[in-house]
Chain A
Amino acid sequence: MPLDTSSYSLALLRLDGRRWNELRRIHAVISSQPAADGSSYLEMGNTKVICTVTGPSEQKRTGPQQPTGPTASARIDVEVSVAGFSSVDRKKRSRTDKRTAEMQHILVSALSDIVHTHLYPHSTILISLHVLSLDGGLLAALINASTLALVDAGIPMSDYLVACTTGSTVNNASSRAVPARQTIPGIRSMANEVDDPLLDLNGLEEQDLPFVTVATVGSEKGRVAVCFSETRMMAERLEEMLAVGVDGCQMIRKVLDASVKAHGRRMLDDT
């Protein structure tokens, strides 16, 4: 039985040794599959995602719900597939899995806002995401990988869409009431139990703690584009969680920006 999130209060260190406001290691590669129109490979800790962008390509004329008229702009399709070997228990998630469907929907609506789709009327941009390894922050990794792949594909967008998760160390003492046999007099006052916001949760932390995925567009004065949570949390904690998340997005943005620029330099050097 390894330690769990309740040990955070002992030294204000998380399960993997991070402090509350530290991101996991990010490793980003652009044009990971040169054959695709745009592609990226992104690691956030042990969450590993490959993304390829196909298009914009001409829309196939099938289905009755074709948008018509001059305002018709490009449609974004997102396919997420989670590999069976991605998590500890080998388990195939079907494409019709509700959580996957919801994530696809979030990606479509967030990306449709920032991609200049009006430039490509009557066409489709297909984003395929493959999750190779899963250790928390899935939606955030999917968003970040999509952004990089779209940049690689050269599709105009208003700014980077970057995301990360934030959680909150709620206090577990009352519920994990496996009592100490003897109450020891003079116990340090428990009133100031730690309830810190946490940045970029790993898989273990996600299982235990309430968390939100936040995505922002743009730098300092950016706006929040996605705010998504599947856990219950105290309303009063949300504000500080969002604040930490927005700051986290800025950090990620810098990392992604650096890797885009490095890629650009390499391309110039090569030619």
Chain B
Amino acid sequence: MTSLKRTQPTGSDSTNLSSKVYVRTTRAGKVQKIVREVYLRQDIPCSSALCSECSKISTTYARGRAQPPVLAAKPLTSETFSTGHYLVPDTNAVLTGMDLFELESAFKDVIILQTVLEEVKNRSLPLYHRLVALTKNEDKRCYVFFNEFRMETYVVRQTGESINDRNDRAVRRAVQWYKEHLELSVKKKACPAIVMISNDNDCRKKAIAEGLVGLSLSKYVSGLEDADTLLDMVNEGREREDAKTTQENFYPEYYSLSKMTTGVKAGTMHQGTFGVSPFNYLEGTVRVPAFERPLIILGRENSNRAVSGDVAVVEVLPKEQWKTPSSKIVEEETLTKNDNPEAEDGETVISNKERKALQEDVKKAHGTTTEGKPQPTARIVGIIKRNWRQYVGHVDKDSVRTSDKLSRAAQTVFVIPMDKRIPKIRVRTRQAGELLGKRVLITIDSWDRDSRYPVGHFVRSLGELESKGAETEALLLEYDVQYRPFAKSVLDCLPEEGHDWKVPADTSDPGWRDRRDLRDLLVCSIDPPGCVDIDDALHATQLPNGNFAVGVHIADVSNFVKPDTAMDREASMRGTTVYLVDKRIDMLPMLLGTDLCSLKPFVERYAFSVLWELTPEADIVSVDFNKSVIRSRYAFSYEQAQLRIDDASQTDDLTQGMRILLQLSRTLRAKRMAAGALNLASPEVRIETESETSDPIDVKTKQALATNSLVEEFMLLANISVARRVQTAFPQTALLRRHAAPPAANFATLTHQLRVKRGLTLDVSSSKALADSLDTCVSSDSPFFNTLIRILATRCMTAAEYFAAGTLAPAQYRHYGLASEIYTHFTSPIRRYADLAVHRQLAAAIDYAPLAPSLQSRSRLEGVCRNINVRHRNAQFAGRASVEYYVGQALKGRDLIEEGHVMRVFENGVVVFVPRFGIEGLIRLRDMGTPEPVGEFDGEEYVLNVTGSREVRLELFDEVKVRITDEVEESTGKRKVKLGLA
């Protein structure tokens, strides 16, 4: 290390040492005093290409690495700033204007101060990550200036000064320093202006008094070229320059953070995530540890500006106000159709219609007795964390004043989010006419006490409503699926040979190191028809001792995706491949997924093999893990494999091997079922498409063959064997997957329903008991009844999740659904990041390769788990939503009568499930006839007696004939599947 020359003598010289002392409150409510040293220095460059002073500094970086100046010598000019300008946004400007800063056409040469970076991180982690990504984008020329470490710009907080004032002062000091520094080191006439962007009036005034340039975000934007479009993106809510005259506040004020922390600690308040009922937008729930059943939040006033997904603090209401969960369908669209987006004055929090709906509900609650025991209700007193994201929606036609496309007048409109649980959002725009009938992307900026609805702004338009492109993109955005093409840096990580890559012929090649040559084994793969990313292949032979040698061979993806490369980072961010009906969004580039890693037949491929010796009773005698080279003999579809096995004339070794596998898989399955594995149903449908246009023509329910479960059983076995092995090797950091046993309270409703309606009992004491009692839930008149119950039971379950072994006690590793003590994902590394990580851990466990540091640290691994858990869930939601969309498309213009089953009964309607299409939908009273028939609801018996224009008795679990049509929704012009009674 010859480059170890120190430029700044530190020593005991205390002039360049300062310390930061601050007080922090921990999650447990403990107050900690943190003392930190800060070393102040003078060698932090301004990073302007114009500055000759700072170019000398770069020599002090590690390993002689020089950082070229980021800020351009010729920054963007405008009318106001003829010599060009550098921007210095304050925290609020970044928080409110992130979409603007990400624009490609404007906002270049931005100086992000460390003060701002830290504050942004405090306020919003997602925005912080976007900001960091921005600084890595070369085109944006975004420079992070560590002003808190530079001696001239470091600011000491004065006594009595608030932290915000201190930070504002730090920003102004940095702006001033930049100005003076550049004036000194650049010839005066060409010196770019330093423009501070702040929405704070006071701060701007002070800046101007100090001789600096300070502009508000909107003022700056209005000086740009396409100001009109850009102004839309300026965050309306938070920018209150000309504070409106004080208005009546609709919502109660939030409690202070300290009051809430004290309350939560003392048990008088509770913290949890707020969720909104999909059937009643006025009813939300918060699940808190102190109560077995979720707390009900009723009405706008109580939900107090919380949006589904926010982490909120609640106060439980007095017992007189407790109630049963709503048994009524309440839709926002119908109740608030006439609200005026502009009219802020005459507005009340609760419209009369809403009040009426609520009152009816409460009355109802007091009438009920015994079983429908009132549940505690609560009101929200504060928000700990907003979980606002970008939302996909469409402009409410009725809220647009002038739909003239040429009109550039700003008006406020409502955007109705696709997600029914999100309230409509007030958006101010100059392009209302153009956006009508489009899918649009919006964000929520704020929700103040004086506004009935949240306020947001447009991000961009995705295209025409109903068009396939826009709807698919909408779906991907809604579920946060990363769908952009892979960046060049990712593609650069692929092998140079591209599709010509081959397993080296020479076995002394380093690629063959520690690999077993299994090319002689008769390996084959069995997958759904048309599968191109073949993750797994199998083989089996009989051993002389009567046992069987069985192998599961998994694509050796970790051979191509090395840890901490751009490709690895991208894959870890994507987390999983997302399958839509007509589209696959890959986790890894195509070259790997469908070719080099795919265990295609007749070519040699690297694999990671799990080799067992199994007794005829399918007990494991031994297991061995090896990196290997295999050559698959055939790629079967499930159907082909089934035919081959059933064909008695086939007696070759490959077919014999498959028969062994099938036999063993039956034994394995029987053993698993005996141990209490659950057979849970989720409706799966397949969309038949016309190959040319990929327009859907029909919907079919998926068929299960014995060969499906053949593959499944061996994958489970491999996953379990691998889980044991990595857990032994890395008791702290093994990446595992668990499925927690659901609390019995989850099943309360279903148990009650089964008892009342069918006299059946559901034993939920263990997975085995549940599996057995589910088997008894049959109905002689309806073969589908059992599946229906399984679907409903599935919804009572908790979600399976990935976790790092060290975070939980071994007793909690259990996978409830599979009835296995330990489990992980190993068998699909092409399409799941978890599997790839487990491959690396297993490779380290067998001493094949050292473990990457990112998989060694428990805290990092927890981060990985958190992300892939979310990604995994979103991928499932996106897949389902895609099927739903296509089912809708396939039903376009049809008018069918199908069999349906009542899943849920409300006062004013029922939810019906149609097995043939796997869809469930509402049939409201008003859909049953005109004039709207009268419903008499019995919540104890789950019966809705309809009289009037239509006479029918609707009972839970009953089979009904359903008429399926599609209708165009009036307000949106959107096509929807409509269910009615036949």
Contact = CB atoms under 8 A, between A and B. Distances in A.
A187 B62 contact: no
Contacts of A173: 564, 569
A196 B3 CA distance: 12
Given A1-B122, A12-B61, A176 B860 contact: yes
Given A175-B861, A191-B566, A210 B6 contact: no
A197 B60 CA distance: 14
Interface in A1-60: 1-3, 7, 10-13, 15-27, 45-46
A170 B32 contact: no
Interface in B1-52: 1, 4, 6-8, 10-12, 14, 17, 30, 32-41, 44
Contacts of A268: none
A202 interface: yes
A174 interface: yes
B33 A88 contact: yes
Given A174-B572, A175-B861, A240-B1, A191 B38 contact: no
A243 B145 CA distance: 30
Given A13-B146, A190-B489, A45 B37 contact: yes
Contact of A196 (B32, B62, B126, B568): B62
Interface residues of B, number: 81
Contacts of A177: 569, 572-573, 575, 863-864, 867
Interface string A69-83: 000000000000000
Contacts of B863: 175-178
B853 interface: yes
A47 to B, nearest CB: 10
Contacts of B144: 10-11
Contacts of B130: 180-182
Interface in B111-160: 114, 117-118, 121-122, 125-126, 129-130, 132-139, 144-146, 148-149
Nearest to A232: B856
Interface in B573-590: 573, 575
Given A46-B35, A177-B573, A247-B1, A21 B6 contact: yes
B416 to A, nearest CB: 21
A210 B32 CA distance: 26
Nearest to A173: B569
B569 A190 contact: yes
A128 interface: no
A188 interface: yes
Given A10-B144, A187-B489, A21 B62 contact: yes
B487 A185 contact: yes
Contact of A16 (B37, B102, B132, B492): B37
Contact of B851 (A27, A88, A196, A232): A232
A180 B139 contact: no
B480 interface: yes
A174 B37 contact: no
Nearest to A171: B564
Contact of B850 (A22, A188, A197, A235): A235
A202 B62 contact: no
Given A178-B867, A191-B566, A232-B853, A16 B38 contact: yes
A179 B129 contact: yes
Nearest to B135: A10
B776 interface: no
Contact of B121 (A1, A11, A27, A46): A1
B126 to A, nearest CB: 6
Secondary structure at chain A's binding surface: helix, strand, loop or mixed?
A: loop
A1 B121 CA distance: 6
Interface string A151-181: 0000000000000000000111111111111
A189 interface: yes
A4 B194 CA distance: 29
B1 A234 contact: no
Nearest to A210: B853
Nearest to B487: A187
Given A3-B118, A23-B10, A172-B860, A188 B137 contact: yes
A244 interface: yes
A17 B136 CA distance: 21
B145 to A, nearest CB: 8
A204 B24 CA distance: 15
Q: Which of A18, A170, A174, A184 has the most CB of B within 10 A?
A: A174
Contacts of B102: 182, 184
A12 B62 contact: yes
Q: Which of B8, B149, B861 has the most CB of A within 10 A?
A: B149
Contacts of A19: 7-8, 60-62
B819 to A, nearest CB: 31
Contacts of B44: 11, 13
A46 B17 CA distance: 12
Interface string A191-223: 101001100001010000010000000000000
Contacts of A210: 853
B853 A184 contact: no
A64 interface: no
Interface in A96-137: 135
A188 B136 CA distance: 5
Contact of B37 (A46, A88, A181, A240): A46
A10 B128 CA distance: 13
A135 B7 CA distance: 24
A174 B121 contact: no
A17 B575 CA distance: 35
A255 interface: yes
A174 B564 contact: yes
B569 A22 contact: no
B35 to A, nearest CB: 6
Nearest to B856: A232
A178 B133 contact: no
B121 A3 contact: yes
Contacts of A26: 11-12
B563 interface: yes
Contacts of B390: 181
A25 B12 contact: yes
B621 to A, nearest CB: 34
A19 B7 CA distance: 10
A20 B62 contact: yes
Contact of B34 (A10, A16, A88, A184): A88
B205 interface: no
A181 B480 contact: yes
Nearest to A21: B4
A2 to B, nearest CB: 6
Contact of A189 (B566, B851, B864): B566
Interface string B630-645: 0000000000000000
Contacts of A23: 10
A186 interface: yes
A17 B39 contact: yes
B759 to A, nearest CB: 50
A13 to B, nearest CB: 5
B10 A17 contact: no
Contacts of B129: 178-180
A13 B850 CA distance: 29
Nearest to B443: A181
Contacts of A191: 489, 492, 565-566
B854 interface: yes
B321 interface: no
B64 to A, nearest CB: 12
16 contacts: A10-B132, A10-B144, A17-B38, A21-B62, A23-B10, A25-B11, A25-B12, A26-B11, A89-B30, A178-B863, A181-B389, A183-B133, A184-B134, A190-B489, A190-B569, A234-B852
Given A182-B102, A232-B856, 15 more contacts: A1-B125, A2-B121, A13-B149, A24-B10, A89-B30, A170-B853, A178-B867, A179-B480, A179-B573, A180-B130, A182-B130, A191-B489, A191-B492, A210-B853, A244-B1
Question: Which 10 pairs show the lowest CB-CB distances between chains A and B?
Answer: A175-B860, A17-B149, A17-B39, A232-B856, A180-B133, A177-B867, A175-B854, A243-B1, A179-B573, A174-B569
